[in-house]
Amino acid sequence: MSGGWMDATGWKGEARMSATMSRMTAGGVAAGLAAARAAYAAGSDEIRVGLLGCGGRGSGAVKHCLMADPGVVVVALADLFPEKARRLRDSLLKDPKFKNRVRVPDDAIFGGFQCHEALAKTDTHLLLMATAPAFRPWQMMAAVQAGKHIFTEKPVATDVAGCRLFIEASRLAEQKKLAIVAGTQRRHEPARVELMKRIHEGAIGELVGGQCYWYGGSIWYRGIEAGMSEMEWQCHNWYHFTWLSGDQIVEQHIHNIDVMNWCFDGPPKKFTAVGGRGWRDYSDQARAVAKALGNEADWVKYNGDIWDHIAAELEYPNGARCLSFCGHGPGTQRHGEKIVGAKGWSDCAGRIMSHDGKTVWAYAGPSVNGQEQEHVDLIRSIRAGQPLNEGVRIAESTLTAIGARIAAYTGKSFSWEWLLNASKNALVPEPSAWKPGPGLFHPIATGADPLV
């Protein structure tokens, strides 16, 4: 597995992933889940699947994968905390929908910080990745080098260096004809696929602006469990630390930012952003964690370092500017996107409107669960010998969110070219440092941090 980063200048001037690659699923989703299942039912070949990360999202991903194709069998599970993997195995075994399709003996359950390496060595065809995103670039590279097809949750990194490694792994996967599908399920929903086809064909004219939002209530904070080291607790409570989650804009708002990039068929050319941390306070829980770890005097760091709101302006190559707003806190929750063109606008979900308020087009086809459909599309592409590879595209969207975060943390504006080719932003330690022991704590960003 790669032990370092490709020289940043190595990516300069390279074309981003083609429009054809980013829309390869368009023909596949139209028939819906019923037709996909019928097509697979005739085949007898098994697709052996392993799961990395057995928490809530991993549990959902493996179930969606099982439902997507009757030939899928789960043969290995891995998690930092192996007891999570055992609980998930036992739960799946009790589900009658998956009878005889969960075959995970005790010796195919892996734990610890390096469990991804053990999983990559198993006799599997497809690996599902759903750990904290900080570790994903290295996990991805290990899986690709082992010749595995991949489903990866979003985001795929938490820093610029990680995005570069993920791009490197994605291009290696393309050379090896391996599939990579990302958990940006909107890209696999027929309504949105049909809508984007029309937008790209000019249905609303030249794109002149847009907005995207993911603003919600407070999130979970997990206490410490007996026997956990500080680093294990920090990974257990990963959302609250920028190096592990990327902050809310990267971990969650990436869905909406990815839709903006989809509209423009690529990333923005310039970033400007502001934000802050005004109401994140987990003092009681943080003090309890500090006490359990024997570090009561330094309890503040267990409060986490992510911000609670970021507002960004993303300027796209044609000069259009899109506003992004995300965070957690009190007030009205809002999720979604809007794209505005010279001739009309769209909700980015399945509707095109004229500027005088008339419906120009509305999707009328079947409603499909995108989180299941992305697995249908992935497995169909593997069976057809035409593997989908969304790796560069999801790395671009991850890097877009990271760019907006860096702009907010530093108060500086900069270009996509600088971000991709020159930034030295690197928050995550090398895999040799992934082990029980002290945690990794960064100070809360000030809004005037150095730009690196």
Asked whether residue 223 falls in the same domain as residue 350, the answer is yes
Rounded-to-integer distance, Cα 99 and Cα 358, Å: 50
Quick one: average pLDDT of 197-217?
97
Asked whether residue 181 is assigned to any structural domain, the reply reads: yes
Distance CA 302, CA 280 (A): 12
Residues 152 and 71 in one domain: yes
Does 79 map to a domain?
yes
- Sign of the Cα torsion 89, 91, 94, 99 reads negative
Same domain, 406 and 265: yes
Position 446 in a domain:
no
Task: Identify the domain containing residue 222 by its residue range.
Answer: 190-366+398-433
Q: Is 338 part of a structural domain of the chain?
A: yes
Q: How confident is the model at residue 332 (pLDDT cuts 50, 70, 90)?
A: confident
| E-assigned strand segments in 71-155 | 72-79, 109-111, 126-129, 149-152
Same domain? For 409 and 379 the reply is: no
Is 443 domain-assigned? no
Domain membership of residue 449 (yes or no) is: no
Rounded Cα–Cα distance for residues 320 and 256 (Å): 17
Same domain (yes/no): 359, 375? no
Nearest to 47 by CA among 140, 130, 131, 150: 150
- Please answer whether residues 250 and 273 qualify as being in contact, where contact means their C-beta atoms are separated by less than 8 angstroms: no
Tens digits of residue pLDDT in 352-391: 999 999 999 999 999 999 999 999 999 999 999 999 999 9
Residue 4 pLDDT exceeds 80 = no
Is residue 279 helix, strand or coil? coil
More confident residue, 21 or 182: 182
Query: Which pLDDT value is given to residue 191?
Result: 98
Task: Say whether both 157 and 88 belong to one domain.
Answer: yes
Residue 322 has pLDDT above 50, yes or no: yes
210, 272, 363, 397 from 264: Cα distances, Å: 11, 18, 20, 12
207-216 sheet: strands from edge to edge: 359-362, 351-354, 344-346, 334-341, 207-216, 321-328, 309-315, 270-276, 414-415
The set of residues, in sequence order, having a beta carbon less than 8 Å from that of 243 and lying 6+ positions away, is: 134, 158, 159, 427, 428, 440, 442
CB-CB contact of 389 with 200 (8 Å): no
Pair 283, 417 in one domain = yes
Which amino acid does the sequence have at 92? L
CA–CA separation, 19 and 30 (whole Å): 18
Domain check: are 233 and 166 in the same one? no
Query: Is 39 a residue whose pLDDT tops 80?
Result: no
Domain count across the chain: 2
Report the CATH number that the domain containing residue 241 is assigned in CATH.
3.30.360.10
159 shares its domain with 250:
no
Residue 451 lies in a domain: no
The answer to whether residues 287 and 406 belong to one domain is yes
User: Over the stretch 372-383, which tens digit does the pLDDT of each residue have?
Assistant: 999 999 999 999
User: How high is the mean pLDDT of the chain?
Assistant: 91
Looking at the fold, whether 350 and 376 belong to one and the same domain comes out as: no
Are 183 and 196 contained in the same domain?
no
Buried b / exposed e along 15-33 (16+ C-beta atoms within 10 A): ebbeeeebbbbbebbebeb
